[in-house]
Amino acid sequence: MGLSFWVGVAVVTLIAFYWKRVFDFIRNRRKFNNEISKFPGPPALPLVGSTYLFKWNVQEFTDQIFEWAGIFMNEMQGACCLWLGPFPVICALRPEFVKAILESNKVLTKGKEYSIIQKWLGTGLLTSTGDKWRGRRKMLTPAFHFNVLNSFMSIYDREAQILIDVLEKEADTGKVFNFFPYVKRCALDIICDTSMGMKVNAQTNPQHPYVMSVQRLNELSFTYVRLPWMWFPPIWYASGCGTEYDTSLKLVTNFTRQVIEERGTAFRASKARGEELNFDDAEYVAKKRYAFLDLLLSVQDEGKLTDEDIREEVDTFMFEGHDTTSSGMTWAVWNLAHSPSCQEKVFEELDAVFGDSDRPCTNDDLKELKYLEKCIKETLRLFPPVPFYTRSVEEDFDFNGLNVPAGATILIPPFVLHRDNASFPDATNFNPDHFDQEHIKDRHPFAYVPFSAGPRNCIGQRFALMEEKTVLSWFFRKYRVEAGMPWKENKPLPEIITKPAHGTPIRLYRRNRQTETQTSTD
């Protein structure tokens, strides 16, 4: 038997080996596709899926998603399937399907779409899974202790007053201006101070490199998520997006690392003086003004976190804690600008609590602002800051009687779910009465999930509501707003965060509370 014989044997063996693998792949893929085919969805082609139908314009793409969702919801479908290239995404359309996925302890891993964000956030609380996520969640819960959140009131209050002062130049001019950048910078200043104990003064220095880089990272992340061909590194970098993303990422993460180093030095010095974190003492917490970073440093001292672990969590707070709240606040102002009667009710409530004083807002005051809270919740219904979130299915999942095979992704779309007339009568219009108690008790609890729900619900939802109520209470104590364009023309763009297509074009007028009170009395 010569060399040619053994070469032939080797070739036959390789063919048999790879043929078996190819055969198994085809068989498994066929089974996978058969299961997915049980979900209705828009037309799809091999390899490209439904992406060949996607509108390039983001606003038109948003309308397209609503149109598709509306078709399947009208057919009383609980879920549908959208193919992103060769990757199926199962979209939950009904509260009972949303409940099934969000209450599951089996499907906890975030979808592949988060991979671009992982370059920034690593595997912090938002993107981690399994035991790491459970450990981090337990570890970080004390950072949201009510005493810590209450101690942030002075930060909310201070930054809200800066916002009021910065807006002075726009008041009573009769000119339309874009409110969105102002409130976004306010939210960024708040999260920098509360998460890192660091002021970047974005409201008075909007060109700060950190401010600009955070904004660009969010924009580039959405480009990546929306266009599946960008998931291939050669295309991502050839487009220029990859290089720009890396440059912005380096600036942002280096800034965070520098803050951690400086704050860590101060923390260790205080510990050397015998000082210990004590979240149960409200006065002590208020006096010390802890940042989230301080909790992480205390855990690091116990040997549980590295500097890079801390960087991941701080950047996660930064990512989740400023774009989301700024979205909520800007849409609330936009809605109230179009609802004079609702705006008047907000004024009446604020005047009943604060009178004509300029005193600070307290946590007790927030409890009294019940109508303002309903306006915020209604805003989060119509324009949820996180329009979509996903879960990766790592083992077959029973989705209310339909099998979702391992390898698929399930998407929960609050942006669509919250506009279902079956849950919210006249769902496309702003109506704070949707959150009257009699309406809440008759509604499916998973019909409204702006902060997700179940095991992976948003750990910072109380933080967000406190911030938004404080800032908006100051805003409406000082100003009255009018809209600068029709409500329906300023469409929401469901990017990484829900943003207005045309910003927030409003006219701003100073309130004369004494005159208003006299007029209402007359």
Q: Identify the CA nearest to 467 among candidates 349, 394, 361, 375.
A: 361
CATH number (domain holding residue 304): 1.10.630.10
Is position 510 within any domain?
Answer: yes
β-pair partners for 398: 403
Structure tokens at 43: 């037309």
Centroid of chain to Cα 182? 19
């077959």: which residue's tokens?
A: 396
Is position 504 within any domain?
Answer: yes
Q: Identify the CA nearest to 95 among candidates 493, 460, 456, 453.
A: 453
Residue 73 Cα distances to 63, 93, 170, 446, angstroms: 15, 7, 43, 16
Q: Long-range contacts made by residues 188-191, C-beta under 8 angstroms, separation at least 24?
A: 188/214, 188/322, 188/326, 189/159, 189/162, 190/152, 190/155, 190/156, 190/159, 190/321, 190/322, 190/325, 190/467, 190/471, 191/317, 191/318, 191/321, 191/322, 191/325
Amino acid type, 478: K
Q: How many domains does the chain have?
A: 1
Residues 167, 193: Cα–Cα separation, whole Å: 21
Is position 31 within any domain?
Answer: no
419: Cα within 13 Å, side-chain hemisphere: 19
Is position 16 within any domain?
Answer: no
In three-state secondary structure terms, 151 is helix
Is the alpha carbon torsion for 251, 255, 256, 258 positive or negative? Answer: positive
Residues 7, 302: Cα–Cα separation, whole Å: 60
Digits of tens for pLDDT over the chain (522 positions)?
Answer: 566 655 665 666 766 666 667 776 777 778 888 888 899 999 988 888 888 888 877 778 888 888 888 888 888 889 999 998 888 999 999 999 999 999 998 888 877 767 777 888 888 777 788 888 888 888 888 777 777 888 889 999 999 999 999 999 999 999 999 999 999 899 989 988 888 888 888 888 877 788 788 878 878 887 887 777 888 889 999 999 999 999 999 998 898 888 888 888 877 777 777 777 666 666 666 666 777 888 888 877 676 788 888 888 888 888 777 888 999 999 999 999 999 999 999 999 999 999 989 999 999 999 999 999 999 999 999 999 988 888 999 899 999 888 999 989 999 999 999 999 999 999 999 999 999 999 999 899 999 999 999 888 888 899 999 999 999 999 999 999 999 999 989 988 877 788 898 999 999 999 985 555 544 444
Is position 21 within any domain?
Answer: no
* Helical residues (DSSP H) of 383-508, grouped into ranges: 414-417, 437-441, 461-478
Is position 5 within any domain?
Answer: no
* 458 labelled ligand-binding: yes
β-pair partners for 403: 398
CB count, 10 Å around CB of 499?
Answer: 26
Q: Which domain holds residue 59?
A: 37-521
Is position 26 within any domain?
Answer: no
Is position 11 within any domain?
Answer: no
Q: Identify the CA nearest to 251 among candidates 201, 217, 222.
A: 217
- Contact present, 178 and 503 (Cβ < 8 Å): yes
